[in-house]
Amino acid sequence: MVIQSIKRAFDIIEVLSENPYGVTLTTLSELVGLHISTTHRILNSLRELRYAEQSSDRTWKPGAGLVGLSSKLLLKDDLLPAALSPVDRLWKKSNETVHLAILHGAETYDVIAKESPCQVRCSARIGQRMPLHATALGKVLLAYQQGNRLESLLKSLDLTKHTQDTITDLDYLKSHLKEIREKGYAINYSEYSESAVAMAAPVMNFRGDVVAALGIGIPTSRFDKADLQDIVGLVIKEAGQISKNLGYFTPERAAEF
């Protein structure tokens, strides 16, 4: 026997999961076949549990709790085990903060986060979310989307100006994303925080789809441009190792056989 209140909550969760960019209360109530007041009451409970959240435009979308749960279920047998050793190597070699992030709506979502042991460091935590347009992780995840998926994401972006260096022009962002695809990595020069510089590279699965981004954050007070290429090289190398662990097959690997 199905308990009605539980069924209603899961009906709402299913609709939220199908609408990561947000859905209005009216539309949501129509889709689940419930009165608006009932739908709103359940949504408020889900918000308290972090399984739903309301955006500034009053639409509802999946909350951090739901994203975190799905990440654990979907990634525990795949991405996370493949990434643990490469992330740890990058962390030890760089002595800086390392993130592994996936795409969630129009934001990044950290599934692995290791803070630098240094007293002055970039912060990181599992579940941390950051904007796509203003971070190295986000720009990588955005750059490798294609066709309608990319256009949909670009339309959904709120190009908020976080610092004087944040990219807020859509046409410039598009050309910048093309450059990232050509280079194979992204750099964030104080675009999200004036006190941080970051680099990131894509992680691909066996089909060649970008499923995550591996990145490193360095305080501007400790960053030396002379070390940039060495640091980028480390990030690309370990992102490539995660991809290999996921079964991504490159021409370079073909030479191994």
73-254: what CATH class? alpha beta
Q: Residue 71: its pLDDT value, please?
A: 60
Residue in the structure block whose two tokens are 């750099």: 187
pLDDT exceeds 70 at position 37: yes
Report the amino acid identity of residue 72.
K
| 191-240 pLDDT per residue, tens | 999 999 999 999 998 888 999 999 999 999 999 989 999 999 999 999 99
The predicted-structure confidence for 161-185, as pLDDT tens digits, reads as follows 999 999 999 999 999 999 999 999 9
Instruction: Please provide the CATH number assigned to the domain covering 4-62.
Output: 1.10.10.10
Interatomic CA distance for residues 227 and 232, integer angstroms: 9
Instruction: Give the chain's length.
Output: 257
What is the gyration radius of the CA atoms in the chain, in angstroms?
Answer: 20
pLDDT digits (tens, 9 = 90+) for 63-82: 877 766 666 555 545 888 89
Percent of the chain at pLDDT exceeding 90: 63
Q: What would the DSSP string read from start to end of 149-174?
A: HHHHHHHH------STT----HHHHH
Name, in order, each residue with C-beta under 8 angstroms of 105's C-beta and a sequence gap of 6 or more: 20, 21, 22, 61, 62, 156
Tell me the per-residue pLDDT of 244-257, one tens digit each, with 9 for 90 and over. Answer: 999 987 655 444 43
Listed by start position, the domains of the chain span 4-62, 73-254
